[in-house]
A and B are shown apart, each in its own frame.
Chain A
Amino acid sequence: DTEVTQTPKHLVMGMTNKKSLKCEQHMGHRAMYWYKQKAKKPPELMFVYSYEKLSINESVPSRFSPECPNSSLLNLHLHALQPEDSALYLCASSRPYGDSSYEQYFGPGTRLTVT
């Protein structure tokens, strides 16, 4: 199984809503990532979890709250978002990095629209 799955595929939410994005992989990867991608731009890293611990937070606003319940699952909790947060949210996984580079496997993304 070389797949990263993400749910939901599409999400429309109001600025006062609370919602969650879910990402799952069963490749035994120990690093999982959240990216945000705006139209016609490359992905921007948001968070990295390594061995279920948050290792990188790219100064993301607190209205985005990541959670890694176990090594296969990664959530992104959303609360009080702004319209400019509308984007494609991508999850990826890989083995943890040491001196070697490991390939990142990306999910299909969740297209989020904030109204």
Chain B
Amino acid sequence: KNEVEQSPQNLTAQEGEFITINCSYSVGISALHWLQQHPGGGIVSLFMLSSGKKKHGRLIATINIQEKHSSLHITASHPRDSAVYICAVPGYYNTDKLIFGTGTRLQVFP
């Protein structure tokens, strides 16, 4: 069974700060997802990555397959970045079944 752990669980930042959210998993995977969910809203897929680094606007995701670790960075954070960020990995025996982390709740204040 793949365990997915995220840290921190809660994060508060001032506008403009650099944010890092971490995700660790216990079993080797083919790819990892980073998802965003605004309060009361649906889920948006930010990244799916299997190696190295991906960048989209102010968001950067990195993954180290050997260390079973991924990070999501937000540069120049903004109040609209306030959301829950969730990492998820495919199940070991059934890749249709995503194993979700517990999420990191980010609040960015002006």
Contact = CB atoms under 8 A, between A and B. Distances in A.
A101 B94 contact: no
A109 B41 contact: yes
A104 B98 contact: yes
Interface in A67-115: 88, 90, 92, 96-97, 99-109, 111
A45 B98 contact: yes
Nearest to B90: A101
Nearest to A43: B100
Nearest to A99: B30
A56 B97 contact: yes
Place the interface of chain B in its size category: 20 to 34
B45 A55 contact: no
Interface residues of A, number: 27
Which 3 pairs of residues, A with B, have the shortest CB-CB distance? A108-B42, A42-B100, A101-B31
Contact of A106 (B31, B43, B50): B43
Q: Is the interface of B mostly helix, strand, loop or mixed?
A: loop
Given A48-B96, A90-B42, 17 more contacts: A42-B86, A42-B88, A42-B103, A43-B43, A43-B100, A45-B97, A56-B97, A88-B42, A92-B43, A97-B94, A100-B30, A101-B95, A103-B33, A103-B45, A104-B98, A106-B45, A108-B41
B91 to A, nearest CB: 9
A101 B29 contact: yes
Contacts of B44: 106
A31 interface: yes
Interface in B89-108: 90, 94-98, 100-103
